[in-house]
Chain A
Amino acid sequence: MAAAAELTLLEKSLGLSKGNKYSAQGERQIPVLQTNNGPSLTGLTTIAAHLVKQANKEYLLGSTAEEKAIVQQWLEYRVTRVDGHSSKDDIHALLKDLNSYLEDKVYLTGYNFTLADILLYYGLHRFIVSIRVAGFFSVMFRMIFLS
């Protein structure tokens, strides 16, 4: 899914009515948002966090210092590891890590649904076929359906 489509989808699920227009930059097609008041914002997670604040749903960025840091950590994971994977083995390794992380959790921060869950879900969406084949990623499945 192109980053722009993903952000549009996020806007909808946040209940933002006014649709933003996104341009894309460079080889990796990094999304850019031109804001009305101020400089443009570049980068998927940066724009996503901005949209969350725009929709007054700051709780999606975490409530405590700890949660906030964890949300940002998984957002970084999404754009570096999930988007930056270079081989099938990479995908396999990261799914395995995620699965074992989520063994005892409902969401990435524990019990609260956050932006990290949304973007990781979007990012993993395209691997779903392989998950089905692999079969044993039960926890991933739960996460996907709960969200």
Chain B
Amino acid sequence: MRLFVSEGAPGSLPVLAAARRAQGRAELLISTVGPEECVVPFLTQPKVPVLQLDNGNYLFSTSAICRYFFLLSGWEQDDLTNQWLEWEATELQPALSAALYYLVVQGKKGEDVLGPVRRALTHIDHSLSRRSCPFLAGETESLADIVLWGALYPLLQDPAYLPEELGALHSWFQTVSSQEPCQRAAETVLKQQGVLALRPYLQKQPQPSSLQGRAVSNEPEEEELATLSEEEIAMAVTAWEKGLGNLPPLRPPQNPVLPVAGERNVLITSALPYVNNVPHLGNIIGCVLSADVFARYSRLRQWNTLYLCGTDEYGTATETKAMEEGLTPQEICDKYHAIHADIYRWFNISFDIFGRTTTPQQTKITQDIFQRLFSRGFVLQDTVEQLRCEQCARFLADRFVEGVCPFCGYEEARGDQCDKCGKLINATELKKPQCKVCRSCPVVKSSQHLFLDLPKLEKRLEEWLENTLPGSDWTPNARFIIRSWLRDGLKPRCITRDLKWGTPVPLEGFEDKVFYVWFDATIGYLSITANYTDQWERWWKNPEQVSLYQFMAKDNVPFHGLVFPCSALGAEDNYTLVSHLIATEYLNYEDGKFSKSRGVGVFGDMAQDTGIPADIWRFYLLYIRPEGQDSAFSWTDMLLKNNSELLNNLGNFINRAGMFVSKFFGGYVPEMVLTSDDQRLLAHVTLELQHYHQLLEKVRIRDALRSILTISRHGNQYIQVNEPWKRIKGSEADRQRAGTVTGLAVNIAALLSVMLQPYMPTVSATIQAQLQLPPPACGILLTNFLCTLPAGHLIGTVSPLFQKLENDQIESLRQRFGGGQLEESLELKAKVSSKPAVGETVTATGPQQIQVLMDEVTKQGNIVRELKAQKADKNQVAAEVAKLLDLKKQLALAEGKPLETPKGKKKK
């Protein structure tokens, strides 16, 4: 038999590694062909590697070739191996070819590459750790290991693309890679050039189809209905029956909140917003709102929680703004601090403190840390060349210079950091620098400055990271950013500036200078706490008892994960360092970026004027939280999610459950006699609740929100199947059944109100008031589903929770805030006008409406089929199909099912 390979074809890796199995069984000749040579006569597209068998037939599938070699060695096929190979071909390969294309052909890096494969890598990791076998299909290395190893090797051989938190994947990959045949295959194919060896081949390949027509997806991952064991059901029932008696007493509110020995003490910070920018939705979801959800969750767990934030007020930008508005910097800060505080109050952010950085405490603590660093030899002095704008007669702060990025060539790089490649820049390195204020070209002048000696602290930092990262909940992007910084090596960073508006430098010869904001902004967390309580050191110099969670967008990771820890480690004062660094990706607006100058996007203060309640904003922003990948705010999507998930799913369920209690049982929760079906539902809800806890403990805020919606979907189905509104009119047994279903449903609604509290605090309080949920049950969330509304409990007045968002309302908001394409809005209007009459009646969704819609769908389906059978005019068919799709959509909405939005140009 003859094996055809091509230089740099990734398929050669597993094939060569597997070929050893066939040694001595058959003679194998290897021929190298060009990447575009058609070896297989019946295939139109070139394909390598290919194995020509002795009878003339061809194996052109990489897995099939490997399988053949294994079969020759006497190996027997099994289900688990088949399953892995099918998964490899259908799931892993499309994701992997996209990642390799980005990396090798397009030269992208980081999350762009890792993003497409992350889910697949996690799947492998979970399977390995769940089965606790060293290999994919058992105790020994086998076909599945070779095929997956070969597919993954080009990417994972670079440690930057082997996420550390995937421990099981890590050790599996190392084990397989160290096998001799694999080592040899890797050397032959990659020739020690790493992934670049694949370049000549991949460049000649068509763009992977998985890349085409891919849009940012806000859609949830699939929900699997887990299988339940008898024990799980029994445990869920026991917990349920204990009811309110299971709840511990509510923790009385403390002021100030201080750490308590022996308890879980959670300190939460949100990145400090810069004072003179009004935050946009991306800022809000990236820091304050995400941190708020976690803080509220943490309090529901009865953990001792302190959540703080504040405005970052020093720096040139404030000075400039003050000049513009004819105020002093302090007055500007006072004014904008109030604007920020108002916005966050409107969004219902539950800060324990919302402080600011321009306080005497800030000066005291910053100077203390500096003195400690200075006396320990971690501060260097050097002459700096700095950009000075002669026209404005001042040194330009980094963010006041723009130019071409020296690393990636991006044209609008800021003086401190490039928005495109994310690298930190020294302003003088910018090509074609421009003063951002007057657009003239600044000149370079020199002056004396102080530097933090990061190279000297690097070793301590690495030791600390080694102890902190494993087992922590640092987000993958944060780990990645820190790792790439350390790989490039740390350099001394300048910590002083020629400015007045800042923390004074306590050193002779530096009287007219202040600290650079990025040195002292992160110290703001400490000083804000110090303004809250004089015992602030119990939080900040107490790493043994305090878990510190810091929330931010990914551009802030270097300062929190690297620079501040270096300062704190160098100061040697037992500071509390970040245990969990939670960084989001970016949120885009419609198809572009938020832009204050172009007036595109929604900013914090404007959200209030839209007439949409804060909780709806919170819900939607959290639903699309850029967790793991960038996401996009879209008006149309917001309307859909409000109308389908909130109105028709969650709101509909909670409202119906409460209404049944009011209407059929006079407001008293009826007796519940659980059947085995009800017990299964209890167990499913418990399982989903536990899933919610697992996710939130890992700060996977967006995913945990899906659990809430899943429970209410279960609830809706439960009501729909059991039809309590019919049974209540039936026999004694029927009425008892109606009571059980209603009682269980209203208890699920009560549970949902607590789970919802971190996300939608106002709606949660409304539900709890409607149900008259007892106070301990409102303030504590256990890992088990309890009966908190026992039989005989009297509920309050039930009313609808959500309002429908209308197309024209959303359309006018979209126009007001810019963004979105003209075509798109035209299309939307067209849709609105051609909507069939039945569409407008589906606001309240009883079973009757659903039935009406189902009939309509069937009818319309028949019309379409008939037309198609008659080979009718294309346009006519298309029009009828459009009607059918619209009806199906309405039906889905009415049933509270998630909408299937068309993705790409996939058919069927």
Q: Which residues of A contact B (CB under 8 A)?
A: 23, 25-28, 30, 34, 40-46, 49-50, 61, 65-66, 68-70, 72-73, 75-77, 79-80, 84, 86-87, 93, 96-97, 100-101, 103, 110
Closest chain B CB from A97 CB (angstroms): 5
Whether B227 and A69, one on each chain, are in contact in the complex, defined by CB atoms closer than 8 angstroms, is no
Chain A: which residue is nearest B81 at the CB level? A46
Residues of B within 8 A of A42 (CB): 83, 86-87
**Known contacts A34-B227, A43-B90, A76-B63; A66/B222 CB under 8 A:** no
Whether B77 and A68, one on each chain, are in contact in the complex, defined by CB atoms closer than 8 angstroms, is yes
A100 and B882 CA atoms in complex are apart in Å by 39
Closest chain A CB from B133 CB (angstroms): 12
**Known contacts A43-B90, A66-B55, A97-B43; A72/B222 CB under 8 A:** no
Whether A86 and B64, one on each chain, are in contact in the complex, defined by CB atoms closer than 8 angstroms, is no
Instruction: Jot down 17 A-B pairs with beta carbons below 8 A, ordered by A.
Output: A26-B221, A27-B903, A40-B227, A42-B87, A44-B86, A46-B79, A46-B83, A49-B82, A50-B82, A65-B68, A65-B71, A68-B77, A72-B67, A76-B64, A80-B93, A93-B45, A97-B43
**Known contacts A66-B68, A73-B64, A86-B905; A46/B224 CB under 8 A:** no
Closest chain A CB from B36 CB (angstroms): 16
The 3 closest A-B pairs by CB, nearest first: A73-B64, A65-B71, A69-B68
A97 and B57 CA atoms in complex are apart in Å by 14
Majority secondary structure, A binding face: helix
A41 and B86 CA atoms in complex are apart in Å by 11
Residues of B within 8 A of A76 (CB): 61, 63-64, 85-86, 89
Chain B: which residue is nearest A73 at the CB level? B64
Whether A73 and B53, one on each chain, are in contact in the complex, defined by CB atoms closer than 8 angstroms, is no
A61 and B225 CA atoms in complex are apart in Å by 31
A69 and B70 CA atoms in complex are apart in Å by 10
B726 in the interface (beta carbon within 8 A): no
Whether A25 and B222, one on each chain, are in contact in the complex, defined by CB atoms closer than 8 angstroms, is yes
Chain B: interface size category? 35 or more
Q: Which residues of B contact A (CB under 8 A)?
A: 41-45, 53, 55, 57, 59-61, 63-65, 67-68, 71-72, 77, 79, 82-83, 85-87, 89-90, 93-94, 209, 212, 219, 221-222, 224-225, 227, 903, 905-906
Residues of B within 8 A of A43 (CB): 82-83, 86-87, 90
Whether A101 and B42, one on each chain, are in contact in the complex, defined by CB atoms closer than 8 angstroms, is yes
Apart from A66-B57, A69-B71, A76-B61, what 6 extra A-B contacts exist at CB < 8 Å? A27-B903, A43-B82, A68-B68, A80-B89, A86-B905, A86-B906
Whether A46 and B86, one on each chain, are in contact in the complex, defined by CB atoms closer than 8 angstroms, is yes
Closest chain A CB from B750 CB (angstroms): 30
Whether B59 and A84, one on each chain, are in contact in the complex, defined by CB atoms closer than 8 angstroms, is no
Closest chain B CB from A23 CB (angstroms): 7
Closest chain B CB from A98 CB (angstroms): 8
Chain B: which residue is nearest A98 at the CB level? B42
Closest chain B CB from A57 CB (angstroms): 14
Residues of A within 8 A of B79 (CB): 41, 46, 49-50
A73 and B82 CA atoms in complex are apart in Å by 11
Partner of A80, one of B65, B90, B222, B903: B90
Most buried by B among A65, A70, A93, A96: A65
Partner of A69, one of B45, B65, B224: B65
Residues of A within 8 A of B903 (CB): 27
Closest chain A CB from B27 CB (angstroms): 15
Closest chain A CB from B710 CB (angstroms): 15
Most buried by A among B68, B83, B86, B94: B86
A75 and B89 CA atoms in complex are apart in Å by 11
Residues of A within 8 A of B45 (CB): 93
Whether B71 and A45, one on each chain, are in contact in the complex, defined by CB atoms closer than 8 angstroms, is no
Residues of A within 8 A of B93 (CB): 80
Closest chain B CB from A125 CB (angstroms): 13
